Amino acid sequence: MRVVVVGSGGVGGFYGLKLVRAGHDVTFIARGAHLKAMRESGLHIENETGIVESLSSVKVTDDLLSVQRPDLIIIAVKMWDLEAIATELKKIAGPDTAILSLQNGVIKDIYLKRHFDESAVMGGVAYVATSIGRPGVIKQVGPMQRIRVGEYGGRTSTRAQELVSAFASTGVDAELVDDIERVLWEKYSFLVGLSAMTCLTHLTIGPVREHEESRALLQTLFNEVVAVGRARGVNLPEDYAKQCMKLADDVAYSMTASMYHDLEKGNRLELPWLSGGVVSLAQESGVPVPANTFATQVLAPYVDGRRAA
């Protein structure tokens, strides 16, 4: 496959490197110091033991329009860049190009289906703890490297099967799922609660789950997201919000969300597409979501970063 990875940071760089290793023709879109380092010395994955995977040379550019008619476009930019990127992607996509977003949440594919034929958009959920450790190097924390891919509507396709096989051949826990929308909402339900509570409290998940009041608010956040998903016809189990709390009890005491790290660094937040996304979807579905509304309102001054706040 001819693949373009738009956004070569922690997620895009990681999974793009895996596809190169699987033998696919991958072009990375990057910028700044990361672009310069990738041009000069390739792309590398590092964990606590040091460099564990390396590509000494990669195809990388900052000119998205220089790449034409790829078989697959993987989107891994922050959500606030999606609308602008989607407009540019229409200029390079061919009639058979597949679009796969590995961004957070469920709003991403709703946006993409406004720009592309629905059949072009694949669903994907990535589970990996990565970031740009330094230019040209993706830092991975922990061993998890999992991805779930599927076609909307439960369709089967050769492209999805080939993609899953490619990731699996490099050691990624890759699975083709027949209800990708449910899988997206499962992650979304947990992520919204984790992101909101760690940002509101400036704490890791450990203290949040230990205190009765904060635990109750976390459970309410989970309850609301699941209620919105089910109201929209997503096949989430009735008790899925309780499953989210069990997961919150099982993860590492020190776990936080990427939005928490952005908040602490003074960066922009993906709040409008996480808690804010729940509020928007709830309004469409007529479901009350006071806890997510509270989180969205309290964190609103930080959405554009510390300078704006």
CATH at residue 39: 3.40.50.720
Determine, yes or no, domain membership for 274. Answer: yes
pLDDT for 252 equals 87
pTM attached to this predicted model: 0.91
DSSP 211: S
Q: And the tokens for 47? A: 């964990």
Q: Which residues contact 14 (CB under 8 A, 6 or more apart)?
A: 45, 128, 130, 138, 140, 145
171 and 195 inside one domain: no
275 and 190 inside one domain: yes
From the number of C-beta atoms within 10 Å of its C-beta (0-12, 13-18, 19+), residue 273 rates as buried
Place of tokens 């997206």: 184
164 and 220 inside one domain: no
Among 178, 200, 232, the domain-final residue is 178
Among 178, 196, 226, the domain-final residue is 178
71 and 209 inside one domain: no
Q: Which residues contact 235 (CB under 8 A, 6 or more apart)?
A: 179, 181, 182
> Residue 132 in 3-state DSSP?
strand
Determine, yes or no, domain membership for 16. Answer: yes
Q: In this structure, what is the dihedral angle of CA atoms 67, 86, 274, 110, given to the nearest 10 degrees?
A: -120
Determine, yes or no, domain membership for 90. Answer: yes
Q: Assign residue 77 a region: left if phi > 0, alpha if psi is -120 to 50, beta otherwise?
A: beta
154 and 114 inside one domain: yes
Determine, yes or no, domain membership for 23. Answer: yes
137 and 217 inside one domain: no
Determine, yes or no, domain membership for 297. Answer: yes
Determine, yes or no, domain membership for 307. Answer: no
Q: Return the axis-axis angle of helices 107-115 and 82-92, rounded to nearest 10°.
A: 40
Number of domains in the chain: 2
Determine, yes or no, domain membership for 308. Answer: no
pLDDT for 291 equals 98
Contact between 81 and 111 under an 8 Å Cβ cutoff? The reply is: no
CA–CA gap between residue 16 and residue 4 (Å, rounded): 8
Determine, yes or no, domain membership for 309. Answer: no
138 and 246 inside one domain: no
Q: What is the CATH number of the domain that holds 238?
A: 1.10.1040.10
Pairing of strands 43-47, 25-29: unpaired
Report the candidate in 203, 187, 307, 295 with the shortest Cα–Cα distance to residue 247. 187
90 and 237 inside one domain: no
113 and 191 inside one domain: no
Q: And the tokens for 182? A: 């449910």
Contact between 274 and 105 under an 8 Å Cβ cutoff? The reply is: yes
273 and 157 inside one domain: no
> Residue 202 in 3-state DSSP?
coil
56: phi then psi, degrees, rounded to nearest 5? -70, -20
38 and 115 inside one domain: yes
Q: Which domain holds residue 219?
A: 182-302
Predicted confidence pLDDT, tens digits, the chain (309 residues): 999 999 999 999 999 999 999 999 999 999 999 999 999 999 999 998 899 999 999 999 999 999 989 999 999 999 999 989 999 999 999 999 999 999 999 999 999 999 999 999 999 999 998 889 999 999 998 888 999 999 999 888 999 999 999 999 999 999 999 999 999 999 999 999 999 999 999 999 999 999 999 999 999 999 999 999 999 999 999 999 999 999 999 998 988 888 998 999 999 999 999 999 999 999 999 999 999 999 999 999 999 998 765
187 and 163 inside one domain: no
Among 153, 178, 203, the domain-final residue is 178
